[in-house]
């Protein structure tokens, strides 16, 4: 499945949700996966002013599979960071949004 996701990225087929996550991270938001003691995971984007937005599992999985995000693998809340490839993509999306 990750190979298929990587192929999609190479064809610039990221979803609008994936582009929004990359753009938010490029603007200083933080993406975390929060785990409960029973193992359930929820992804949330945390903004600079304290706001937070839930992110679907598939959105994050696709970005990790395309090597645009990496995790620090901490429990109970892992933080996801842009890779160099992810930083470049976020910059492109921010620039195209300004036009």
> What pLDDT was estimated at residue 9?
47
41: pLDDT strictly greater than 90: no
- Indicate the SS3 state at residue 29: coil
pLDDT digits (tens, 9 = 90+) for 48-77: 999 999 999 999 999 999 999 998 877 667
**What pLDDT band is residue 99 in, cutting at 50, 70 and 90?**
low
pLDDT at 1: 45
The closest alpha carbon to 61, from 1, 10, 12, belongs to: 1
| Domains of the chain, CATH where assigned | 2-98 (1.10.10)
Exposed/middle/buried for residue 1 (C-beta within 10 Å: 0-12, 13-18, 19+): exposed
Average pLDDT across the chain, whole number = 84
Best CA proximity match to 6, nearest among 57, 67, 60:
67
Q: 78: part of which helix (H) or strand (E)?
A: strand 77-82
- What are the backbone dihedrals phi and psi of residue 72, each rounded to the nearest 5 degrees, phi first? -90, 0
Q: How many other CB atoms are there within 10 angstroms of residue 84's CB atom?
A: 9
Averaged over 71-84, what is the pLDDT?
A: 82
Higher pLDDT among residues 86 and 37, named by residue: 86
């Amino acid at each position: 499945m990750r190979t298929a996701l990587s192929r999609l990225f190479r064809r610039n087929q990221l979803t609008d949700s994936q582009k929004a996550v990359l753009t938010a991270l490029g603007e200083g938001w933080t993406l975390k996966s929060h785990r409960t003691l029973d193992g359930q995971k929820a992804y949330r984007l945390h903004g600079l002013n304290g706001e937070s937005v839930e992110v679907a599992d598939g959105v994050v999985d696709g970005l990790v599979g395309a090597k645009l995000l990496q995790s620090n693998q901490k429990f109970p809340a892992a933080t996801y960071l842009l890779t160099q490839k992810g930083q470049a993509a976020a910059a492109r999306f921010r620039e195209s949004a300004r036009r």
